[in-house]
Amino acid sequence: MEADQWYDANGVWSGSATILPDDRVVMLYTGSTNESVQVQNLAYPADPSDPLLIKWVKYSGNPVLVPPPGIDNKDFRDPTTAWLTSEGKWRIIVGSKVNKTGISLVYDTLDFKSYELLDGVLHGVPGTGMWECVDFYPVSTSGDHGLDTSVNGVGVKHVVKASLDDDRHDYYAIGTYDEKNGKWIPDNSEIDVGIGIRYDYGIFYASKSFYDPKKGRRVLWGWIGESDSELADVKKGWASLQGIPRTVVLDKKTGSNLLQWPVEEIESLRLSSREFNNVELKPGTIVPIDVGTATQIDVVAEFEVDKKALEATAKANYTEFSCSNSGGAAQRGALGPFGLLVLADDKLSEQTPVYFFIVKGSDGNLKTFFCSDHLRSSVANDVKKQIFGSFVPVLKDEKLSVRILIDHSIVESFAQGGRTCISSRVYPTKAIYGAARIFAFNNATEASVKSSIKIWQMNSAFIRPFHPENKKPPHNSL
């Protein structure tokens, strides 16, 4: 859609599609008017038989929603996919804020043209600021399948997600939906939306999910921005990208986390593989993993830490730790860091460590952190180099596990089945193409670590332009 009407003259912004029971599709999207007022608009596919729905027709009665009383003209955006209530009405939420409290406004509609604003808000959290790209969807408490957005009832929890405009991160929480009153209550207010768990602890923002009825799954897409200079972006001719789509399910073991995992179609790109079992990593060692070039690979690894070292650390004093405030993979502790050095050159002048770090927490129990260190990811000096990561829950008898998708300048990492995820944008100048390598490392001072690693070389997707006359997308499109 183009910004060609008064109600979207300053921008066609985020929106969401809803598939109706008769298979018709409607789209609600935010427009910034000729006076920069944020409004919600309705559009329909110009050709419903087009599998890609490329062209859209805007409703003649737009806008269908304007900021309600008490909401600033520039704080009203990003409508969700609609879901059906038990009364047969369609319900959506729209992101907003009141002062510094991030909120999600709730609207009911029968025809997507006229709307009723419900009293209060679905949910709000003080101090979180403007909520963008809000999302709301059910997750099963018993199965590993996704749920249609309208599903509610026994065996269902609901997720509220918001992208915080203040810090540019995506947060979610799990809770209970009260349909009658249009409210949602978090299971744990200490990890509420915007103050608790994030989808991703790297560069990942403005994500949205949808339900895939053919495969019975919920799929999440996220926007991965740049951390190099604007001048560099202009030179390479592009900036930012969509990450690998992920399935999303409730983590039944913790009850408070979602598990995100690359969609199964990614595995169709796997080529040859090599396995490295029982690789012994003594304290202070780096071991090359011989797979040839390592610029486009899929890595699955498990790590086991020496039990005696674990027991000794459990008896030691409490250690304060966070990935972002640490010295990265160069900072040594009794039980970390250990993991993999990806997009590294032979001399290790460039490297992106993805690793675990275990410390004794303030509660006396061991805590595991999952981090990605960009400090030595590139010798270029126009790159913002940070250390990303967070705590990852590791339950009794679980091995430490990670999956890493590496694609030239992007590294997407999934720890413990996707409980904690980190998306990294890196800009190596030496560890590129045939010169890129991968190493296993253990920079702990006390613990030996045993690792098992499997690595696939990955094909490119070879996504071809769609030709409308074919009325059918290319066979190998993802």
Exposure on the CB side of residue 142, measured as CA atoms within 13 A = 4
On whether both 277 and 426 belong to a single domain, the answer is yes
Residue 332, CA distances (Å) to 216, 312, 369, 384, 389 in order:
44, 16, 14, 23, 17
Place of tokens 């799929």: 219
Of 360, 356, 363, nearest in space to 399 by CA: 356
By percentage, how much of the chain surpasses pLDDT 90?
92
Instruction: Give me the phi and psi of 235, to 5 degrees please.
Output: -65, -40
Does residue 317 register a pLDDT over 90?
A: no
Query: What value does the mean pLDDT of the chain take?
Result: 95
Averaged over 442-471, what is the pLDDT? 88
**Among residues 159, 179, 198, which one ends one of the domains?**
198
Averaged over 107-128, what is the pLDDT? 98
On whether both 166 and 290 belong to a single domain, the answer is no
DSSP letters of 391-441? Answer: E----TTPPEEEEEEEETTEEEEEETTTTEEEEEE---SSS-GGG-EEEEE
Instruction: Give me the phi and psi of 342, to 5 degrees please.
Output: -110, 160
Residue 51: asked if its preceding bond is cis (omega within 30°), the reply is: no
Compute the CA torsion angle 108, 113, 117, 121 (nearest 10 deg): 70
| CATH code of the domain in which 149 resides | 2.115.10.20
On whether both 448 and 330 belong to a single domain, the answer is yes
On whether both 444 and 308 belong to a single domain, the answer is yes
Of 293, 206, 209, 269, nearest in space to 241 by CA: 206
Place of tokens 């025809």: 111
On whether both 318 and 450 belong to a single domain, the answer is yes
246-263, pLDDT tens digit by residue? Answer: 999 999 999 999 999 999
Does residue 320 register a pLDDT over 90?
A: no
- Look at residue 227 and tell me if it is in a domain: no
User: Is 234 buried (19+), middle (13-18) or exposed (0-12) by CB count in 10 A?
Assistant: exposed
Distance CA 336, CA 283 (A): 9
Does residue 314 register a pLDDT over 90?
A: no
364-401, pLDDT tens digit by residue? Answer: 899 999 999 999 999 999 999 999 999 999 999 999 99
User: According to the model, what pLDDT value does residue 319 have?
Assistant: 81
User: According to the model, what pLDDT value does residue 316 have?
Assistant: 82
| CATH code of the domain in which 303 resides | 2.60.120.560
Averaged over 449-472, what is the pLDDT? 85
Find the radius of gyration of the CA atoms of the chain: 24
User: According to the model, what pLDDT value does residue 318 have?
Assistant: 81
User: According to the model, what pLDDT value does residue 476 have?
Assistant: 45
User: According to the model, what pLDDT value does residue 469 have?
Assistant: 66
pLDDT band at 67 (very low <50, low <70, confident <90, very high): very high
Helix (H) or strand (E) holding 312: helix 307-314
User: According to the model, what pLDDT value does residue 478 have?
Assistant: 41
Instruction: Tell me whether strands 410-415 and 400-407 are parallel, antiparallel or unpaired.
Output: antiparallel
- Look at residue 474 and tell me if it is in a domain: no
On whether both 276 and 193 belong to a single domain, the answer is no
CB 209 within 8 A of CB 219: yes
Exposure on the CB side of residue 180, measured as CA atoms within 13 A = 1
Does residue 1 register a pLDDT over 80?
A: yes
- Look at residue 265 and tell me if it is in a domain: no
- Look at residue 67 and tell me if it is in a domain: yes
By percentage, how much of the chain surpasses pLDDT 70?
98
DSSP letters of 214-279? Answer: TTTEEEEEEEE---B-HHHHHHHT---EE---EEEEE-TTTSS-EEEEE-GGGGGGEEEEEEEEEE
On whether both 148 and 286 belong to a single domain, the answer is no
**Among residues 176, 198, 220, which one ends one of the domains?**
198
- Look at residue 463 and tell me if it is in a domain: no
DSSP letters of 79-133? Answer: PPPPEE-TTS-EEEEEEEEETTEEEEEEEEESSSSSEEEPSS-SEEETT---EEE
Contacts for 408 with CB less than 8 Å, ≥ 6 apart: 295, 296, 432
Q: What is the side-by-side order of every strand in the sheet holding 285-289? A: 285-289, 437-442, 335-344, 352-360, 366-373, 387-391
Does residue 477 register a pLDDT over 50?
A: no
297-306, pLDDT tens digit by residue? Answer: 999 999 999 9
pLDDT band at 471 (very low <50, low <70, confident <90, very high): low
On whether both 292 and 436 belong to a single domain, the answer is yes
- Look at residue 234 and tell me if it is in a domain: no
Q: Which residues form the domain of 180?
A: 11-198
Does residue 175 register a pLDDT over 70?
A: yes
On whether both 149 and 28 belong to a single domain, the answer is yes
Count the domains in the chain. 2
- Look at residue 423 and tell me if it is in a domain: yes
Apex 44 CA angle, 108 and 133, nearest 5: 55
On whether both 192 and 298 belong to a single domain, the answer is no
- Look at residue 330 and tell me if it is in a domain: yes
Lowest-pLDDT choice from 26-40, 204-218, 311-325, 359-373 = 311-325
CB 228 within 8 A of CB 207: no
